Structure 1
């Protein structure tokens, strides 16, 4: 772990910020790095990247990739010796995405009576529901639920478990999540209990794990990860789905849509919808054969 917790902040135009973010995604040594990209000042066209490295090596790697893009300005801020993640989450507003309402303990009294409430404790896992990728997945799922049901749902790279929990709370008989990060799996299972949702989460390195395969083929697969693993997993996700099943993919920038879409079209998928939130994209694809 890093001796000192830091936040790395980069500013630039949209094109510059997206190019820098793509460089972070392309570095295999930074596959698990946590960062966000969003528009900070619409009038001035300023975009911002926030990265939260967890080790000195990760911090050095992020700074090195950003330094290759002189169009963005980079600064590193030392975070106070406190639970900065919990503190930052306590200031986040709840999120409404279709029928879903994602909130933390501090917003318990704000849940609308008609919403599907998802109470999420992030801990050390990604996926509070505030990130544009998670919101895009929930919006895509909400739209699909208006015309079809999904008995068996798999969430690849589950993080906090928010997507599988959303499925379990909207009628899915089987909702399974998997992650390569053991603490995320623990947090996801705790969130399932917190939400009284019949979702289970397993620590697995891939979709061929016995604990993942035993409930397949699935009607729907969520994969909110990063563009490179989305491409690499295209065949495995196809095999995890029944014919006619749906994949909701996110974790990719709009500029990475073509690459990810091409990988799935070549495997017999049909693109049904794109959803954009900030610089991020969510793709809805259906397995046709």
Structure 2
């Protein structure tokens, strides 16, 4: 048996083709943990790009198989035998979203004075602040807290812990985050310490963990995951919110917005606003 050689899979095509391929990745049962991004590479030529970073040969084969079914040009590049993730993250620029300035250790010497500065080290977790879904959540949250505060906040699928940490740093008395990935929970806890944020993180699937249940109901729930889990968790999220509470949903493509929204509208939620960034959508809804 040979060790897996890290690869980067790049697929380029028109927006509709790229979004359809990304949607297929999201809905493939064997690719639920796949790491990828989708963005507009050339607006004039309508070229959209998917970058995928498989971690096993099985995942690599699955991505290649899915992408082969769409009108996209696929290339695969073998990554150097090094800590390529750390190297890639070290080159990421800081991100500003509303009042929030998200940066890595390599940018710690150039922080604005008028922003809420959040140092996030991703490691193997999702959520550096660069992805369109994370930026959308931060922008939505920034708009909300201009009008009111949220005493109790739950972050479902916390990844690096960025969203729960942002809440804790802007006045929330309780910020709880969950993730199904144990390394992500460890990374989120480390990021909370670095940012001196009173945010707690637990390893959990769904909203049944004791820490989550004992502190319910919440004034605000973040759920930056994937379209299918967002739909399946709609009723649980409703129960976890106070009447009139707010949920910020993301992790969904624009093409998935309608079906996710339908799951929440059918439970009485009202859409307050939506944010589109690249191919991604963020929805802000209010519980009745």
Q: Tell me which interval the TM-score lies in, with the shorter structure as reference length.
A: over 0.9
The equivalent of 2:125 in structure 1 is: 125
In the alignment, is residue 49 of structure 1 matched against residue 50 of structure 2? yes
Query: Which residue is equivalent to 1:58?
Result: 59
Partner deviation per Cα, 1:169-224 (whole Å, 9 max, x = no partner): 00000000000000000000000000000001000111012121111100000000
**Which residue does the alignment assign to 1:197?**
197
- Over 3 Å counting, the alpha-carbon distance change for 1:94 and 1:204 in structure 2 is same
Equivalent positions of 1:243-262 (< 5 A) are: 243-262=243-262
Note the residue ranges of structure 1 that are not aligned, 5 or more in a row: none
Name the CA shift for 1:128/1:268 in 2 (closer, same or farther; >3 Å).
Answer: same
Question: Post-superposition shift, 1:92?
Answer: 1.0
Map of 1:17-56 to 2, 5 A cutoff? 17-56=18-57
The residue that corresponds to 2:8 in the other structure is 7
Q: Deviations over 1:23-64 (max 9, x none)?
A: 101112111111100001111110000011111111111111
TM-score, normalising length from structure 1? 0.98
Q: In 2, Cα distance between the equivalents of 1:152 and 1:29?
A: 35
- Which ranges of structure 2 fall in alignment gaps of 5 or more residues? none
Q: CA RMSD in A?
A: 1.0
Query: What displacement does 1:2 show?
Result: 6.1
Question: Are the equivalent residues in 2 in contact too, given 1:2–1:56 (CA < 8 A)?
Answer: no
Aligned residues between the structures? 287
TM-score by length of 2: 0.98
Q: State the 4+ residue runs in structure 1 displaced beyond 2 angstroms.
A: none
Structure 2 residue aligned with 1:171: 171
Q: Is the 8 A contact 1:98 1:142 kept in 2?
A: yes
Pairing 1:222-261 to 2, within 5 Å after superposition: 222-261=222-261
Where does residue 218 of structure 1 map in the other structure? 218
Distance in 1 of aligned mates of 2:29 and 2:236:
20
| Secondary structure in structure 2 of the residue aligned to 1:165 | helix
**1:57-96 paired onto structure 2 within 5 Å:** 57-69=58-70, 71-96=71-96
Matches within 5 A, 1:256-275: 256-275=256-275
